[in-house]
Chains A and B, each alone.
Chain A
Amino acid sequence: MKQPKKTYVLGIETSCDETAVAVTMDGNELLSNCISSQMEIHQRFGGVVPEVASRRHVERITIMIQDALEQAGIALQDISAIAVTQGPGLVGALLIGITAAKALSLTTGIPLVPVHHIAGHIYANHLVRPLQFPLVSLVVSGGHTELIYMEAHNHFECLGKTRDDAAGEAYDKVARLMGLPYPGGPPIDRLAHVGMETYNLPRAWLELDSLDFSFSGLKSAVMNVIHNANQRGEEIQEANLATSFQQSVIDVLIEKAMRAVKKTGVKRLLLAGGVSANRGLRSQLQARCDQDGIYLQIPPIELCTDNAAMIAAVGTYQWWAGNEAALTLNAEPNLKMSAVHR
């Protein structure tokens, strides 16, 4: 491990619809965290349109790099490494961050470090409180639903993941079916707060010992409920349907996370990803962890959604471990964790 006195890492993240650039010091201190969100641009389409996202990233990228360095009060030459999300994500969107990172690296000679997006979400926690190992992390977002086991820095083991839709994706699709705005998480969470669980919706447990997830059946079940009600001329009780759907998602997430904790024998569970902002999930998971004597860590909302500080944090540990990329670095939309982080 080469570990100079202070390590400043510039992080770049463009895997979906946020153009984000940040600077961290020593992988745990956040010096700047700049995010240019495209949420309003995509709202009218009811979801992220990849080509629209890529176009916007190109416009914003150097402006965000400049903002992040200025806010951190650091010059580009004083950066130790440039960390960039290599995948998974939208290929056209990822390419903008990677291309910019490579151009910075070519101009300055600063090394380039590839980072896995999910590893980033886990390390968002490290910026608040140092990670303590071993741990299990439940990463839930619009694009991902995964259970990751870590026994040390730079060590990631995928215990389970979704076989179809991500949890956040299920929220977006169900919101669309119910005529609620995009993204679907916040409006459903709000309704679920006031409704009752009156609709009987399935929970996909899969095989007995599986830690994988599946949410497409749940989405179809909601579609059937709405369809049947329409056929019979009945009105949907919106808040109750939202509650029933959300409870079905939460039950599976919590149960699988606790099974992963039990299986690995860890005492620490980390929640990460955009869906961590869900109030229902936060409070019920906290209650279950209290009951089972598990320490639960959830990052503040602004670090739950996509950001570049988390990429810089992982990048710091990766760089200390000697993981550098060449100028041939390419976007990998289906990147496996084991491919970048050894």
Chain B
Amino acid sequence: MRTLAIDTSTMVMGVAILEQDRVLGEMVTNLKKNHSVRLMPAVSQLLSELDLSVSNIDQIAVTNGPGSYTGIRIGVTTAKTLSWAARLPLYSASSLTVLAHNAAHFPGLIVPLFDARRSRVYAGVYRRLIDQLEPVIRPQVIHIEQLIKKVVSLNEPVLFLGEDVEIHRLNIEASFSSRLYFGQGGENIPHPSHLGLIAWRKHLDNEPPETDDFAPDYLQLTEAEAKWLQKNRRD
């Protein structure tokens, strides 16, 4: 049972292939370069390095956001088209959940985040439960102050993950007196091998795969829709 995992939700572009829960190969770049140009050649290259083709893959996994809208769509469109064309089940996971898996053994709260501009972040809060992670606060777009307040009130050791944590670091440090940790190096970028592992577990748990109308979970409406709703609620 081989899983092809694809993540292009953020600046990080990741492709991994797993056999059961064993990682056969993983390609990760962390560059501000075009995912649309580089993703398909990367998938093709990883397959050929492993002497595999799409026909040797048994299931596809993809992150369905949050992150860059265009980036998410490139990953999701690629994954759902591969899955449709090769008739393979498709599983998805939040890019925040994938990032949280970098610290799956942390004894406390794991808080992966991506910046969402205007003092807001895409964030979730996770806690270790036996050998898996359970969400304590589901992925959402939230004001950084509000997130900090919620996490402080849980009164546990906290680990913040993600390169965008740096943007809010002073704010965070000022709010916690102790037991505060920050991810380092590779812990701060999502790894597609974790996505593959999540999909493998979903398969083991007999979770139903995604359907043909599968779409990203952007966690927010488009600006046009939000404005329209606001206006029409007022009128």
Chain A residues within CB distance 8 Å of chain B = 44-45, 49, 51-52, 54-55, 58-63, 65-66, 76, 92, 95-96, 98-100, 102-104, 106-108, 326-331
Q: Is the CB of B82 within 8 A of A103?
A: yes
Contact call B81/A51, Cβ cutoff below 8 A:
no
Cβ-neighbour of A100 out of B37, B77, B223, B225 (below 8 A)? B77
Give the dominant DSSP class at A's interface: helix
- Whether B40 contacts A95 by the Cβ 8 Å rule is no
Q: Which residues of chain B are near A330, meaning CB under 8 Å?
A: 34, 36-37
Q: Contact check: which of A76, A96, A106, A108 meets B77 at CB < 8 Å?
A: A96
B73–A103 contact, CB under 8 A? no
Partner of A327, one of B40, B82, B85, B228: B40
Say how far A77's CB is from chain B's closest CB, in angstroms: 10
| Contact yes or no, B40 A106, CB < 8 A | yes
- CB <8 Å contact, A96 and B73: yes
Q: Which of A49, A55, A65, A108 contacts B215 (CB 8 A)?
A: A55
Complex interface residues of chain B between 25 and 78 (CB less than 8 A to chain A): 34, 36-41, 43-44, 54, 69-70, 73-74, 76-78
Ordered by A's residue number, 25 sampled pairs between the chains whose C-beta atoms are within 8 Å are A44-B228, A51-B69, A51-B222, A51-B223, A55-B69, A55-B73, A58-B215, A59-B214, A59-B215, A61-B80, A76-B85, A99-B77, A100-B77, A100-B78, A100-B81, A104-B85, A106-B43, A106-B44, A106-B54, A107-B54, A327-B40, A327-B41, A328-B41, A329-B37, A330-B37
Q: How many A-B residue pairs have CB under 8 A?
A: 102
Nearest CB of B to A101, in Å: 8
Residues of B within 8 A of A49 (CB): 222, 224-225
Residue of A nearest to B40 (CB): A327
Asked whether, in the complex, the Cβ of B212 is within 8 Å of the Cβ of A63, the reply is: yes
Q: Quick check: is B86 within 8 A (CB to CB) of the other chain?
A: yes
Whole-angstrom distance between the alpha carbons of A51 and B215 in the complex? 14
A107 and B85 within 8 A (CB):
yes
Instruction: Identify the closest chain A residue to B81 (Cβ).
Output: A103
Tell me, in angstroms, the Cα distance from A108 to B87 when the chains sit together. Answer: 12
Q: How far is the CB of B81 from chain A (nearest CB, A)?
A: 4
Residue B235 at the A interface, CB < 8 A? no
User: Please, how many angstroms separate the alpha-carbon atoms of A329 and B39 in the complex?
Assistant: 11
Q: Does B181 contact A (CB under 8 A)?
A: no
| 4 nearest A-B pairs in the assembled complex, by CB-CB distance | A103-B81, A327-B40, A107-B85, A62-B84
B213 CB-CB contact with A under 8 Å? yes
Which A residue sits closest to B45, measured CB to CB?
Answer: A327
**A54 adjacent to B73 (CB under 8 Å):** yes
Of all chain B residues, the one with the shortest Cβ separation from A76 is: B85
